[in-house]
């Protein structure tokens, strides 16, 4: 059992507020991921939960007990860092049991805890090896094992995969997902700047930006129903396209005339007062489809493909629309390099067309 509650938590270094208005309820068994651009305060927030950083304002509690002034060792929390310094002269078993020996636990207790952790982490065959005879991913698992043996209520991870190469990152990410499954009652908070890690691991994602929380939700909620342009563009790769326009028709289906030629229909409902409202329409690259020969309502714009990138299972098409700062990207299934320099009409299902006014989704006002 470990429910974590952050209430109006803030952090200031001198005059500079790096975090404010952080309100968050984390339930036992959740794997919460903090994601956001570099410098947005992810590590700071995690370190405040760990007790390594003082909380400047607000309250943090575990299972209803205020933690603001409780020292790190008494919070029932284990933190796994990016760099996993193992003792090089100790075997895996010795590394994993070190903290328990310091705590003067009995040999039987130590063996039981280490064997259990090794099983969860699939380290049993390596218990008698030295760290130098392990791969990077195995060493990272030993580092996690050192936390597991202490049986903490809460695990905190700060970008644990960022030192690993690409293939190992994927493998270790899957291992962390399995680790979570093996310990359904433990609460985990995981920091990353990698949105794929966030999407694949999280039960809920907290997107941090500009010193506050931009949105909290399950990975698919954030993908399908982003509340603002920041979240819309942060989750998903390539990013959601945003194109300027103005509402011309209201009702259950909203029509938008694009500033630079074209028209979109969105299933986001609007009312008469919204007529003329300047908006950005948002469409994900994977939601744009070829619309040649379809009804005009389904085509959003027609343009020349500037560049194609054939990735194998999909081809990315890049359009430069006059007067628009960013390129528009479409992701079409299959291998389509022949579309370079061709003129293509693109449309989207109105249910997949987002509308934002002043950066906020019109779904959520
Ligand atoms: N000890 C400190 N003194 C002053 N500013 C700090 C200190 N530690 C972190 N910061 C600032 O707080 C902000 C958040 O940092 P951090 O939590 O490390 O970001 P993230 O982990 O999201 O990359 C950054 O702008 C950083 O410069
Ligand atoms: Mg950090």
13 ligand 1 Cβ < 6 A: yes
In ligand 1, the atom with minimum distance to the C-alpha of 36 is 22
Predicted pLDDT at 171? 82
- Is the predicted pLDDT of residue 182 greater than 90, yes or no? no
Q: Which ligand is nearest to the CA of 38?
A: 1
Displacement of CA 288 from its chain's centroid (Å): 24
Tell me the HSE value of 1 on the side-chain side, using a 13 A CA sphere.
5
In ligand 1, the atom with minimum distance to the C-alpha of 191 is 21
CA distance 240 to 285: 6
Q: Which residue has the higher pLDDT, 75 or 297?
A: 75
Instruction: Summarize pLDDT for 71-102 with one digit per residue, the tens.
Output: 998 999 998 876 678 999 999 999 999 989 99
Distance 39 CA to ligand 1 centre (A): 6
Distance 50 CA to ligand 1 centre (A): 16
CA angle 102, 108, 113 (to 5 degrees): 70
Predicted pLDDT at 295? 66
Pocket test for ligand 1, best of 9, 11, 13 (most atoms within 8 A of CB): 13
Instruction: Summarize pLDDT for 327-350 with one digit per residue, the tens.
Output: 999 999 999 999 999 999 999 999
First to last CA, the chain: 36
Number of CB atoms found within 10 A of residue 14's CB? 5
Predicted pLDDT at 82? 65
In ligand 1, the atom with minimum distance to the C-alpha of 159 is 21
Pocket test for ligand 1, best of 44, 46, 54, 211 (most atoms within 8 A of CB): 44
**Domains defined along the chain, listed by start:** 4-230 (3.40.50.300), 234-364 (2.40.50.140)
Predicted pLDDT at 296? 55
State percent of the chain over pLDDT 90.
79
Whole-model pTM: value is: 0.91
Predicted pLDDT at 312? 93
Instruction: Summarize pLDDT for 252-295 with one digit per residue, the tens.
Output: 999 999 998 899 999 999 999 999 999 999 999 999 999 877 66
């Amino acid at each position: 059992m470990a429910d974590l509650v952050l209430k109006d938590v803030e952090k200031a270094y001198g005059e500079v507020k790096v975090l404010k208005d952080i309100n968050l309820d984390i339930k036992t068994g959740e794997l919460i991921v903090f994601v956001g651009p570099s410098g947005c305060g992810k590590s700071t927030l995690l370190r405040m939960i760990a007790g390594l950083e003082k909380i400047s304002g607000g309250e943090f509690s575990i299972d209803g007990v205020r933690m603001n002034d409780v020292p790190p060792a008494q919070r029932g929390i284990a933190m796994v860092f990016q760099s996993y310094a193992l003792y090089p002269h100790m075997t895996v078993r010795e590394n994993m049991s070190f903290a328990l020996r310091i705590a003067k636990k009995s040999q039987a207790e130590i063996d039981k805890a280490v064997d259990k952790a090794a099983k969860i982490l699939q380290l049993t065959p390596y218990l008698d090896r030295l760290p130098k005879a392990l791969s990077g991913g195995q060493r990272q698992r030993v580092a996690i094992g050192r936390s597991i043996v202490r049986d903490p209520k809460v695990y905190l991870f700060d970008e644990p995969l960022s030192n690993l190469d690409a293939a190992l990152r994927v493998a270790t990410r899957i291992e962390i997902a399995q680790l979570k499954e093996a310990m359904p009652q433990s609460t985990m908070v995981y920091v990353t700047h990698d949105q794929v890690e966030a999407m694949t691991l999280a039960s809920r994602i907290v997107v941090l930006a500009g010193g506050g929380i931009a949105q909290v939700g399950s990975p698919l909620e954030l993908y399908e129903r982003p509340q603002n342009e920041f979240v819309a563009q942060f989750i998903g790769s390539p990013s959601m396209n945003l194109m300027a326009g103005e509402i011309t028709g209201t009702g259950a289906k909203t029509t938008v005339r694009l500033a630079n030629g074209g028209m979109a229909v969105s299933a986001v409902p609007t009312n008469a007062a919204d007529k003329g409202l300047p908006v950005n329409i948002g469409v994900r690259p994977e939601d744009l489809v070829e619309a040649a020969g379809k009804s005009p309502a389904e085509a959003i714009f027609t343009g020349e493909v500037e560049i194609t990138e054939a990735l194998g299972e999909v081809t990315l098409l890049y359009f430069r629309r006059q007067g628009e700062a960013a390129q528009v990207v479409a992701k079409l299934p299959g291998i389509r390099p022949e579309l370079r320099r061709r003129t293509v009409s693109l449309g989207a299902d109105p249910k997949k067309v987002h509308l934002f006014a002043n950066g906020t989704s019109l779904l959520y006002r």
